[in-house]
Structure 1
Amino acid sequence: MYECAVLSVYVDLALGLAVTFLLLSLLVSGLNEAFVRLLSIRSKFLWAYLRDTLDGADDRTGAWLPAGVLDVFRVLPFLRDPRPRHSDRPAPAQPSAVPDPGERAGDSMINLLYERVREIDHGKRGRTSISDIPPARFAVAVMELVTAGGDVDDFLTRLRQIDSPLYGPLKGVWESAQRDLDRFTKGVETWFDGEMQRLSTLYKRYVTWVVAVLGVVVTLLFSMDGLEYAKTLLRDNAYRASVTAVAEAGPEAYAELRARCAGQEPVACVTETLSQPALVGMLDQALVSLSIPDQGAPSVHWNGGRWWDRVTTPAHWPGFLLTYVALLFGAPFWWDVLRRITGIKAKR
């Protein structure tokens, strides 16, 4: 019986920590998704890469897609928007040909590509919102541009004349396909799919840094001390056990319960304590907290002074670090942990 009770305590502890870290991880993920959507980061990543691949780096400011993550933070969200202007007109039946070198503008190729894919677009603040081009659709768009200027050799000659970085990869694909159009189309699709995977890797690096920053913000905003929370969970479990023991022991143990409640009425004391789970008590330490009284409307409280005392107290820093590291594992990890603890089976 004793071993079962001890096991139950640790299961409750693991369950409470998993639920808490899952909720906070979901909050971090939600903030990250809101940040990405608000600034159209996915779409900017795609079109920055396409500009570098089709038209080349800008002569004044360099590549559109920065290689370093810190440069991405500095450039893409705020300083430069690589997306083409949105157009609600359908693509013309006859594709435009690659312009001559003397007529070429700095964004000629990107505009030609957008012209072929804009049927799937809807505007966002005057810019395209396309954030994904399937490799098969990109290959079809390339073939449409090829047919507009003759054959593949003519198309490659035009790309070389305008010094487009797309010339090298397509030239290699054309030679590998042994000048077979079907194999060339499939090769373009395969090449673009690989480039999208490389772009996804850079995007994931960017998102990892964003999540890391947001994890710090959420941890400090809620001043969530993971060690203190674990201790509170164990204390609550012990308190519930003592209440049960008092109920079974009879009047002799009633005096001890009254002493623990510091002179308050034990029934009211027990009710108030058990109605405030450990998670609710911890969230009351946030910079702004919400209280829902038994009667009346909910109220919002500013806890600036108490919050600052917690954040600046070194004793809480190990617990903050534990919470931060836990959030870096992400919501999927904690959902899997919670599912294993509770025995919830994933749908197949």
Structure 2
Amino acid sequence: MFDSTVLEVALGLTFCFCSVSLIVSSVNEGISSFLKLRGKYLLGGLKTLLNDPTGSGLVLDLYNHARLNPGGSGRAPALEQLHGLPSYVEPRQFAVALIEVLQAAAGNPGTPGDLLAAIEHVPEGQLRDVLRNMYRRAGADAQRFETEVAYWFENAMDRLSGNYKRTMQWCALLVGFALAVLMNIDALHLFKVLWEHPALMRQIDTTQLLDAHSALNNLTATSLPIGWERPPFTYQGGVLGSNYHFSEFAQMAAGWAITASSTLFGSPFWFDMLQKITHLRGTGPKAA
């Protein structure tokens, strides 16, 4: 059985990391929504997939198609004049929209039998080769070709989703570090204090982590050693002075980095870990 001190320390650190991750996830989602990152990533992915870097050809036609962008006017002369960018496109809807756009560009809209002619109308290059090969694998069957296009798009979106997640992880790391500095959430200092005073966790209700708001309230009102004991800097007589030695800042920076790194695991990971430790803790003796 684990020593109770070990469990209290593990519970305190996990509680802190879960709270920070919840706050960072909420901030990340706000940043993504404000900057419309999902829509921009989708647009960039389609430009690459359809070999249309300027977005003035097939990509623009697709964004003017009701299946792919039902919120648009359908008559935007350029991507910059679109009213909003969709953040998600269902693979089959993309496939149907692409086929209809290709047929319309070839002058034979809605004519399944002329799919090959529509593909041949695509400018020579990798895209035409890919579409031609998919059409051949489908045995010149329009329904199977649509399925091939949907599968091709889905695979491309899986890769794009991986790129988006990596970007958001970097964003989480930066936001997490900023939060750790702002609130002085030093994981190393927290570990040291909890190891010496495990009974501090008796005053913490670990069931109150419901969302970012409750997590922030718990961090600011908790008895855990979080926050600045004194301001990091003072400004007197026109001179900016530090209230901490360089070695103290270096130690805190290491603790901030650990706290920020914890956000890379995501709040679901820490919430699940918190529940497991709480259950394990309940089967053993309480801290003295």
Does the alignment reach a TM-score above 0.5?
Answer: yes
Question: Deviations along 1:257-306, whole A, 9 cap, x unmatched?
Answer: xxxxxxxxxxxxxxxxxxx7433x413559xxxxxxxxxxxxxxxx4528
- Superposition deviation, residue 52 in structure 1: 3.2
Contact 2:24 2:176 in 1 (8 A): yes
What code does the residue aligned with 1:32 have?
Answer: N
Pick the structure with greater CA Rg: 1
CA deviation after TM superposition for structure 1 residue 165, in Å: 5.2
| Structure 1 residue 53 displacement after superposition | 3.1
Alignment match, 1:137: 93
- The 5 A counterparts of 1:77-226 are 107-116=56-65, 117=67, 120-121=70-71, 127-148=83-104, 149-150=107-108, 151-160=114-123, 163=124, 166-226=127-187
- Once the two structures are TM-superposed, the CA of residue 203 in structure 1 deviates from its matched residue by 1.5
Contact 2:49 2:156 in 1 (8 A): no
Q: Secondary structure, in 3 states, of the residue corresponding to 2:121?
A: helix
Determine which of 250, 262, 275 is the counterpart of 1:326: 262
Partner in structure 1 of residue 275 of structure 2: 339
- Post-superposition shift, 1:40? 0.6
CA distance in 2, matches of 1:238, 1:189: 57
CA contact (8 A) 1:22 1:334 kept: yes
Partner amino acid, structure 2, of 1:339? Q
% identical aligned pairs: 28
- What is the total number of aligned residue pairs between the two structures? 240
Matches of 2:245 and 2:85, distance apart in 1:
41
**C-alpha separation between the residues in 1 aligned to 2:43 and 2:272?**
35
Q: What is the Cα deviation at residue 122 of structure 1? A: 6.8
2:182 & 2:63 partners in 1: Cα distance? 43
Q: Is the 8 A contact 1:55 1:107 kept in 2?
A: no
Q: TM-score, normalised by structure 2?
A: 0.71
RMSD: 3.3
Alpha-carbon spacing, 1:188–1:230, altered in 2? closer, same or farther (3 Å): same
Distance 1:126 1:308 in 2: 51
In structure 1, distance between residues paired with 2:180 and 2:21: 10
| Aligned position for 2:44 | 48
User: Which runs of 5 or more residues in structure 1 are unaligned?
Assistant: 59-105, 242-275, 287-302
Return the structure number with greater relative CO, CA threshold 8 A, min gap 6: 2
Change (3 A) 1:118 1:202: closer
| CA deviation vs aligned residue, 1:196-250 (integer Å, no higher than 9, x gap) | 1111122122222222222222222222211211232344445899xxxxxxxxx
